[in-house]
Every structure is written in C-alpha cells, then in structure tokens.
Structure 1
C-alpha cells in the first residue's frame, strides 16, 4: 500500500493552487498576498478537518490520490532459446 501524500489546496481570487507543503506556498505568494505569515499558518496546524480561512484565502489540507502503477518495476523478460 502506498503512503498517503499530503497536498495543500489554496483558493485565492477564484483561482485554485496546489502545493506539497505549507512552506511551498511562500515560494509563490508573500504573506501580504495571503494575509498570514508562514509562522502563524504553521502554528495554526491546518488539517483535513481544520482549514484556514481569512478575507484573502482559504487553505485546506487533503490527500493526493493516485493509481498504483507498474512504472519502475522490472519484470523478468521471457527467456528464448535459440535452436541449436
């Protein structure tokens, strides 16, 4: 079973943005853009049951769901014998 991967969903001005961490938000937006500093947002401890919202943004935490793939799995290729 794959581990759940956390995703941070930020909604601002009718647009949706997705980040891998709270700190990644600040690589795109300033604290003035979203109306809260990184430290305050970190201390708020966003969770799936506890989104953060102010007059600038709504920030939620969710789980990224992905299909289990076979990429990177090496299969044993069939062995062919050459007539001899």
Structure 2
C-alpha cells in the first residue's frame, strides 16, 4: 500500500472514531476497539484495520494501550483520537 492510500485510510479511521465513539473526560474522541472492529461499514472499508491503527498510532494520531489489538480479547480497549 502506498503512502497516499495509508493517509486516506487514516483519515477514514478518524471519521469512524468520531462517528462510532464519543468524547471522553479530556474532550478527546474515543471508541472501544470492539465497537470499531464489529462495525459492518468499518469491516467493509478497511482491508487491514490493525495495520491502519498501527500506522495512525506511529504518527501519533491515535493512542491505545499495547501493540496489537485482538478481537474479543481487547474489545474494551479505548482508541483515542489525538489529532482531529
């Protein structure tokens, strides 16, 4: 995947975090990994959701605990949007 595609997917990720999440006590958008992972539209849009999450985390656009998020095991992990 080229950089333009990665950037596009990160922008889509930001949109879905706002669409499916809510603002936390710090005023940042936040969504549970399980909510994001289990959304049908998200599933259809992202070829590799974890790859997009890791890319966005590396760029400090989002944050979450740990390195790798797994379905069911990490459903309650908050994905926090740092940059809108």
The normalised TM-score by structure 2 is: 0.29
Q: Which has the larger radius of gyration?
A: 1
Bigger share in strand: 1
Bigger share in helix: 2
